[in-house]
Structure 1
């Protein structure tokens, strides 16, 4: 089984914000795969897809900074290694719409990833980072990540969500190295 975790914050008020890009990508995968049976388990919204292998789509409902609680519970319940997990999340250090895939590494200051690292005790999960850009001068980071995309950014992020879903499908089908070669441009 593979687990695809999209990071975000629960609640309608956060649904279209920069910090919820991970949820948006998981929703795009669910749409593509015809998955609509979401259930609340392990402090997350989860849905299962049966393709070549079972894939669990996960949207933690613990708020971003505690995302690891849900991911850790799921990993323990299904007896998964960190390598079976793909995490999709927003990244301030990438321009809006840019993707970066990688295996291993630090959190880069992302609190959701910090929480996952602490719960898994390993850094060997695949990451699909989706660029949301840096805050404008005078903006607090917390306010920025909880803001909506501007009209100019909307088409870029819509394309990035589609490409990030393509990247996840490539990881599942061909592995992370091929996906990195295709999407880290």
Structure 2
């Protein structure tokens, strides 16, 4: 079983905001690969779509509590850390870039921090989607991440989301090492 978790905040208010880049990437991947519609799992407090041996997850907790939902999911399924990937926004990376990392701390990302805290280890594979604007990291990151992308930013993000889908397909077919070599 491969579990792909996209991070974001639930609710229409947060659609197309920078913090929801993980949700957007997983939605695109699901559509591109003909996954069934996401269904709400009350038990896991997450939107879930499953196709064959791949489980797509969008926690319906707020970002800072993502670990609560993710812990329920990973407890329900036997998994190895190498078969689990978290897709999330990253303000430390330039908009339009992506980076795949393993066995690193949260780097200040509260959603990732929550997952590490709740599952009890840092052995996560993470696909980081850059959201940093051209002018560099904003002073007030907390308000910046819940703002919507401009049209120009959205066009850039759309391109990296397509690349993200390709990277996820590579991860599924070839594993972590080949994916990191191809996309980092």
Mapped to 1, the partners of 2:137 and 2:46 lie a distance apart of: 35
Tell me if structure 2 keeps the 8 A contact 1:99–1:128: yes
- What does residue 132 of structure 2 align with? 133
Name the SS of the counterpart of 1:35 in structure 2. coil
- What does residue 154 of structure 1 align with? 154
- What does residue 49 of structure 1 align with? 51
- What does residue 62 of structure 1 align with? 61
- What does residue 20 of structure 1 align with? 20
> Does residue 1:111 correspond to 2:113, yes or no?
no
Q: Describe the shift of the 1:122–1:137 C-alpha distance in structure 2 as closer, same or farther (beyond 3 A).
A: closer
Paired residues for 1:81-100 under 5 Å: 81-100=80-99
Per-residue Cα deviation, 1:33-86 (whole angstroms, up to 9, x for no partner): 212332222010001012xxx000000000100001111111111122333211
Per-residue Cα deviation, 1:13-32 (whole angstroms, up to 9, x for no partner): 11100000000111011101
Name the SS of the counterpart of 1:93 in structure 2. strand
Tell me if structure 2 keeps the 8 A contact 1:21–1:89: yes
- Consecutive aligned runs of 4 or more in structure 1 exceeding 3 Å deviation: 134-139
- What does residue 119 of structure 2 align with? 120
Tell me the number of residue pairs that the alignment of Structure 1 and Structure 2 aligns.
Answer: 181
Compute the displacement of 1:136 (Å).
Answer: 6.5
User: Taking structure 2 as the reference length, what is the TM-score of the superposition?
Assistant: 0.93
Per-residue Cα deviation, 1:138-166 (whole angstroms, up to 9, x for no partner): 75211100111122222210001111111
Q: Describe the shift of the 1:62–1:81 C-alpha distance in structure 2 as closer, same or farther (beyond 3 A).
A: same
Mapped to 2, the partners of 1:137 and 1:77 lie a distance apart of: 38
Mapped to 2, the partners of 1:71 and 1:83 lie a distance apart of: 15
Mapped to 2, the partners of 1:137 and 1:102 lie a distance apart of: 20
- What does residue 180 of structure 2 align with? 180
Mapped to 2, the partners of 1:150 and 1:170 lie a distance apart of: 30
For structure 2, the residue ranges without an aligned partner over 5 or more in a row are none
Mapped to 2, the partners of 1:138 and 1:177 lie a distance apart of: 33
Question: How well do the aligned residues superpose, as a CA RMSD in angstroms?
Answer: 1.6
User: Taking structure 1 as the reference length, what is the TM-score of the superposition?
Assistant: 0.92
For structure 1, the residue ranges without an aligned partner over 5 or more in a row are none
- What does residue 9 of structure 2 align with? 9
